[in-house]
Structure 1
Amino acid sequence: MARCKCSGRAMCLCLLPFLMMSHLLVYIVVTIFVAMSYTPEPKPLPLPLHFIAPGASSNSGALASHPLHAFWNLRLVEGALWNRLQHLKDRENNPILRGNTTGGRGSGTEITTVHENNNSLCKPDHRLVSQLPDFNTMPEQMKDFVLSMHCRNYTLLMNHPDLCNRQDIVPEAPMLLMAIKSQVGNFENRQAIRETWGRNGWVHEEAGGKRWKVRTIFLLGRQDITTGPHPDLEALLQLESSLHKDILQWDFRDTFFNLTLKDLLFWDWLTVHCPQAHFVFKGDDDVFVRTNALLDYLREHYAPRQRTTKKIKDDFLAGDVITNAWPSRQPTAKYYIPESFYKGVYPTYAGGGGVVYSAALAMRLRVVSQWVSLFPIDDVYMGMCLQRLGVSPSHHPGFLTFDLPEANREKPCAYRKVLLVHKRSPKEMLTLWRDLKSPPAEC
């Protein structure tokens, strides 16, 4: 048998067929492996295209980390109702796919009618119950939220459209509009706020410098009478509203999981009736705010921002910033969110006891909220909207949403650097206001 003698260049020609065969064999093996390991992505359950639903504290003193994920997320998180609904919204509002050039950074004037659904149609809707296998074992507040997911527009029962332009004061844009979330029966809380830190009119900075116009408005829903026997307080509320002219009330049940509606509806009201305000404080009616000190802080941001870019003014929000928080999975907890409803970590957000932000940001939040499915916890929902705007909230150590150490709560000197503290009863508000009027000299 003849033998092939290969050397140099001839060696390559002799081995070429074997090399080609070996590459072909590797390609065949890899193709078979990929085909065997491939599992097609399960097709999500069909959901309505136009669905709309009614941690740890940072101490860095700096801006929170920039959102890591883009608003227009095309990856679906399986197995949770909210995530699937939001996935549809992200695809529907993707500016690349839809040619939308606003990118969520509008001034709030691009859309004339924010909410198109009519309040008369807001009846319980059971179509999404089948998407939640554990619906029957959920707490009542979670069930109610799911059943009213299709509603976010409600009739304004009490309104004071001239609150920011009253004739009894000098016509000047409010430096600060204080929007306080309250409930029908909390008469004492509202009155204590009016007499202390929430006074309407001209308020001096703590340092005794410039005075600023401050307006206060209370945000209410309809009295929730489903939790037990309650007296009908609507007549008293009407009297209070006519006397103080500082109450906004909408026709929805005032429950904990409906607090998000107050943000949305207030942003609508602000856009129409008080767009000239410079800053907005949003808080609960059981907090105490050192308004004079807050004005000092806002002046530092207001004066230079008049000479800076619009984007910087649009991005201002400060409070007690919470990062790396996960949903509570304890069914008996106030903040319980079932895994079947939401999966994943919460975005960075500011604690809902009280935050302050520019009115310009409120206009942008109003617009982007249309692209974010509503969430039962209001401060988390605002964090979701901020994330989709690419805005990082700024932590301020003076926002004590978890209160002072117990040993310091009765010491006026302990409040020197506090802007907000939670929580305080009406009596405690009045006492603290009196004590802080003339703090001890040794402070």
Structure 2
Amino acid sequence: MKCQLSLPLLLPPLLLCLEPPSPDNATARAAPPPRHPLQPPYPYPYRFLLNEPHKCRGGPPFLVLLVASQPGDTAGRATIRQTWGNESSVPGVSILRLFLLGLHPVFGRELRGTLEEESRLHRDLLQQDFLDTYNNLTLKTLMGMEWVTRYCPEAAYVMKADSDVFLNLDYLVRRFLLPPKKNFITGYVYRNTGPIRHPAYKWYVPREVYPNNTYPPYCGGPGYVFSGDLATKIYMVAQKLPLINMEDSFVGICLHALGIGVTHSPMGVFNMYWLQYKKCRFSRLVMVHHYQPQDVLAIWPDFQQTKCPR
């Protein structure tokens, strides 16, 4: 039996043992292991059903904001456009907003016309033909990386955000992104965490999908920001790595393969837990998790009015 190192970009490496060719068929090869149901096929030629390929032709934006959204959440997207996702929310800074969608697992055909009309009206929807499920969030993020790579590679920064957050783009830009950087990514940083192996949890990752006991450092999925050059680097290295169903952890795996570290942000600036709204506290935060769009809509007028001491 011959043994060879596999997954050389992960630490520690895995040792896979392959049966030698049978004597009567010297060209026989070991069949690849079957793909686990939690491991979506990738690389795979997913098609853009909704696309905005010309958005950056007028010049690269300072920030591309990629918002993970569910296909049926028309009201949530409308609220985000009015609040933290407004492209004019940071005076003097060019922001480009795009929502990331897959196909609704049940009502994909029924939603088609509604989404096409929304796309014609707002020109901010990206959709590919994979099912929009929790375990396919990695595909959704990689769709955003693919779009930046193909159509907007000169963007200074990219931010990936979930739809259930409060986001303070003005504080993010002025406190953390000036002057522009390269090979930069920050958010709420996780270190020395590992896969959850119990199938009862939605974060379940079996050993067949990811065999190592720990993940490389990564930024929590509700919201993280990275320099534009990293979008292409992450997208390209993702073509060579086994996909896992945890989107944020997979981005960390890609960074590890690239030899690029994550940058810590000050404690609590990217907040992964719900906080009660207080204007002057929120003015010094980039993100607060577990704020649904309707919650943000309720606090946004107050957040926009009075100024807090710097």
Deviation at 1:231, TM superposition (A): 8.6
Distance 1:75 1:164 in 2: 40
1:66-145 map, 5 Å: 71=9, 75-77=13-15, 128-129=33-34, 144-145=37-38
Change (3 A) 1:265 1:329: same
Shift in alpha-carbon separation, 1:172–1:76, aligned structure 2, 3 A: closer
**Match in the other structure for 2:78:** 191
Query: Which residue of structure 2 aligns with residue 118 of structure 1?
Result: none
Name the SS of the counterpart of 2:231 in structure 1. Answer: helix
Q: How big is each residue's C-alpha offset from its partner over 1:367-395, in whole Å with a ceiling of 9 and x where there is no partner?
A: 21122111111100000000011111112
Distance 2:84 2:177 in 1: 18
TM-score by length of 2: 0.85
Relative to structure 1, the CA distance from residue 386 to residue 299 in structure 2 (aligned partners, 3 Å threshold; closer, same or farther) is: closer
Distance, in Å, in 1 between the alignment partners of 2:308 and 2:270 is: 24
Give the aligned partner of residue 104 of structure 1. Answer: none
Question: Does structure 2 conserve the Cα–Cα contact (< 8 Å) formed by 1:401 and 1:422?
Answer: yes
1:368 match: secondary structure: helix
Aligned counterpart, 2:118: 240
Question: Equivalent of 1:375, from 219, 226, 244?
Answer: 244
Per-residue CA distance 1:275-314 (angstroms, 9 max, x = gap): 2211001111111111111120244332xx5xxxxxxx1x
Question: Which 5+ residue runs of structure 1 have no aligned equivalent?
Answer: 1-41, 52-69, 85-125, 132-142, 166-170, 205-210, 306-312
CA contact (8 A) 2:283 2:308 kept: no
Distance 1:413 1:392 in 2: 32
Matched residue, 1:223: 104
TM-score, normalised relative to structure 1: 0.61
Partner residue, 2:223: 354
1:224 partner letter: P
- Among residues 401, 410, 421, which one is paired with 2:272 in the alignment? 401
List aligned pairs for 1:2-401, cutoff 5 A.
71=9, 75-77=13-15, 128-129=33-34, 144-146=37-39, 148-149=40-41, 152-165=44-57, 171-201=58-88, 203-204=90-91, 211-225=92-106, 232-302=110-180, 305=181, 313=182, 315-343=183-211, 344-396=213-265, 397=267, 398-401=269-272
* Change over 3 Å in CA distance of 1:388–1:340 after alignment to 2: closer
Deviations 1:110-163 (A, max 9, x none): xxxxxxxxxxxxxxxx9744x8xxxxxxxxxxx5334x4355320110111122
Q: Which has the larger radius of gyration?
A: 1
CA RMSD of aligned residues (A): 2.9
Displacement of 1:400 = 0.7
State the 1:232 CA deviation: 2.2
Structure 2 CA distance, aligned partners of 1:230 and 1:75? Answer: 40
Provide closer, same or farther for how the CA distance between residues 395 and 442 of structure 1 changes in structure 2, counting only shifts above 3 A. closer
Deviation at 1:73, TM superposition (A): 6.2
Q: How many aligned residue pairs are there? A: 294
**Any idea what SS the aligned residue of 2:179 has?**
helix
1:413 partnered with 2:300: no
In 2, the alpha carbon distance for the partners of 1:357 and 1:74 equals 26
Alignment of 1:418-437 (within 5 A): 418-437=285-304
Between Structure 1 and Structure 2, which shows a larger proportion of helix residues?
A: 1
Question: What secondary structure does 1:342 align onto?
Answer: coil
CA distance in 2, matches of 1:152, 1:255: 17
Residues 1:127 and 1:193: Cα distance change in structure 2 (over 3 Å) = same
Which structure: greater strand fraction?
2
